[in-house]
Amino acid sequence: MTSSDVAFSQLQSFTASAGGAGTIRFQLIRDGSPYYHDGTRWVAATLGSHTNTEAQVNANIRRFHLDIGAGTLRVRALFGSGTYATNQATLTSVSVTGNQ
């Protein structure tokens, strides 16, 4: 899968096509800095645990430009395999809609 930064002024939706039994969590990267939604607003992700599920990102993505501002966007996916590292997740695609 390839990725590139995309300019945006506001974001509308977020979806990820995933499979497998592991977990995938996300951070939104604006202009090189990672962010996550803390349950109230988008803030800087300073720890590896500062991530969101696909549903959390999609539910709050419309506020991203209000909390963080416009810029260039990249999505970071963090894969988890569970306690015994036997579950693997796969990520086929990520789609973000919005305005440039």
Dist CA 6 CA 10 (whole Å): 11
pLDDT digits (tens, 9 = 90+) for 29-65: 999 999 999 999 999 999 989 999 999 999 999 999 9
Lookup: tokens for 64: 């991203």
Identity (one letter) of the amino acid at 26?
F
> How is residue 52 annotated by DSSP?
B
The strand ranges marked E within 1-100 are 6-8, 10-20, 23-30, 33-37, 42-44, 71-80, 89-99
Prediction pTM value? 0.86
pLDDT (tens digit per residue) in 61-87: 999 999 999 999 999 988 876 666 666
Task: Spell out the domain ranges in the chain.
Answer: 6-99
Residues in the chain: 100
